[in-house]
Structure 1
Amino acid sequence: MKKNIIRTLIVASLVVITAGCATAPPREPDNICNIFEERRDWWRAAKDMNKEWGVPIHVPMSIMYQESSFKHNAAPPRKYFLGFIPWGRISDAYGYAQAKTMTWDDYIRETGKRRARRDNFDDAIDFIGWFMDKSQRINGVSKWDAYAQYLNYHEGWGGYQRQTYLQKEWLVQVARRVDARAITYAQQLNQCEEKLNRGWFRRLFFG
């Protein structure tokens, strides 16, 4: 009986701690299993995105890692007037997905999710899923092709069609890193997905 009480107190404490760190980036962003073990709400959101858009979870997670390092309020660097006076930012991209205002507005209009916020993980990963789904429909890019999906994400659908990325070797290198990370995430997720899908009761008593 005493052991059960201790377990309950530990679980309650962990819930409080997790709630207090809700907007903090995951401690081990290079391991998707550890990310989702730390943030169970993110796992539920990722599965919802997968069900809604048919997008494999490891690809938008890799894109999000690249765009914001999982920081909820990530924003592009500031511009400076005369080299030292802050003068806006180089882009209006914001949040987990670094979504630009115009594209975010398109997402809200098309999905009807008017309460969606760019600094909310659930909304941000759903946005990436929506974008990837459109990349497939507009440019025929596989949802499993992290390299080409990222080039669409960065350059836009029209830019990808015009192959603007061919003049940006740095971007091609970034897209390759996104692809490599997606492959790693997929391998990791294959090892832990069954455990992640267990209910809290089974995980508490059976690991």
Structure 2
Amino acid sequence: MKNRFLLFLVILWLAACTSTKPPSNVADACAILDEKSRWEDHVFDAARDWGISPGTILSFIRQESSFRHNAKPRDRNGKLLSSAMGYSQALSGTWDDYRRARGGGKRKNFEDSADFIGWYLNQISKKTGIGKSDTRNLYLAYHEGPGGFTRRTYSGKPWLGEVANRVASQAAIYDGQLRRCEARQMRKLANN
């Protein structure tokens, strides 16, 4: 009986480890959602609820955490750089605002992180007037905060503009891929 219980715990631990492993092909949104099938509903629910494209949500997660649930920003010596963590790299204070608004959530949970990104980009859009399809400026405001974006704190950080361009480009690629794989899935259903 004791050995069975230990075996059960080991299997449970291994399942937990593999479920949080980043997807193997982060360049293809269809491959990501095929491999991480539970993520698909979360991404599309957040996109629908907040009016943010699914490609934008995925591109933010890719940039912020490389799809790692336990990501934390560190310097070269291993020292933590901020309170950011999880898929979305949400700062503690901003995450607390989200939790109060949405009734809970965990930064290491993909569903909560996808919803957070949609929620926060919606907040940013309301506060700054940035359009929800303007991924580049949404990313600048996500990184700097709405107040920092309004004060143009990003203008002294040329590297951040390059990152924002990359995130916007990746979002457009992901959205195009998602349209193609959705069409492929619809054709499969029609042929069955």
Q: Give TM-score, length-normalised by structure 2.
A: 0.85
Task: Summarize the Cα distance change of 1:73–1:19 in structure 2 as closer, same or farther, 3 Å threshold.
Answer: closer
- Mind listing any 5+ residue stretches in structure 1 that lack a counterpart? 1-16, 81-85
* Structure 1 equivalent of residue 176 of structure 2: 187
Residues in 2 aligned to 1:76 and 1:126: alpha-carbon distance in whole angstroms: 21
Question: 1:69 and 2:70 equivalent?
Answer: no
CA deviation after TM superposition for structure 1 residue 52, in Å: 1.6
* Structure 1 equivalent of residue 101 of structure 2: 110
Aligned CA RMSD, in angstroms, stands at: 2.4
* Structure 1 equivalent of residue 84 of structure 2: 93
Residues in 2 aligned to 1:184 and 1:79: alpha-carbon distance in whole angstroms: 31
Which shows bigger deviation, 54-63 or 100-109? 54-63
Residues in 1 aligned to 2:15 and 2:173: alpha-carbon distance in whole angstroms: 26
CA deviation after TM superposition for structure 1 residue 51, in Å: 2.3
* Structure 1 equivalent of residue 5 of structure 2: none
Residues in 2 aligned to 1:89 and 1:198: alpha-carbon distance in whole angstroms: 48
| Residues 175-203 of structure 1 deviation map (CA, whole Å, 9 limit, x = unaligned) | 0110111111111111012455799xx6x
8 Å Cα contact 1:79-1:90 kept in structure 2: no
8 Å Cα contact 1:71-1:95 kept in structure 2: yes
Task: Summarize the Cα distance change of 1:185–1:126 in structure 2 as closer, same or farther, 3 Å threshold.
Answer: same
Aligned residues: 179
| Residues 82-122 of structure 1 deviation map (CA, whole Å, 9 limit, x = unaligned) | xxxx6x5110100000011000000011122x2x1100100
Residues in 2 aligned to 1:60 and 1:167: alpha-carbon distance in whole angstroms: 26
Secondary structure of 1:21 counterpart? helix
Residues in 1 aligned to 2:182 and 2:15: alpha-carbon distance in whole angstroms: 21
Secondary structure of 1:151 counterpart? helix
Secondary structure of 1:74 counterpart? coil
Percent of paired sites with the same residue: 40
8 Å Cα contact 2:140-2:164 kept in structure 1: yes
Residues in 1 aligned to 2:17 and 2:130: alpha-carbon distance in whole angstroms: 39
- Relative to total residues, which structure has the larger strand share, 1 or 2? 1
Structure with the greater alpha carbon radius of gyration: 1
- Relative to total residues, which structure has the larger helix share, 1 or 2? 2
Secondary structure of 2:84 counterpart? coil
What does residue range 86-165 of structure 1 map to in structure 2 within 5 Å? Answer: 88-112=79-103, 114=104, 116-165=105-154
8 Å Cα contact 2:82-2:91 kept in structure 1: yes
Q: Give TM-score, length-normalised by structure 1.
A: 0.79
Secondary structure of 1:89 counterpart? coil
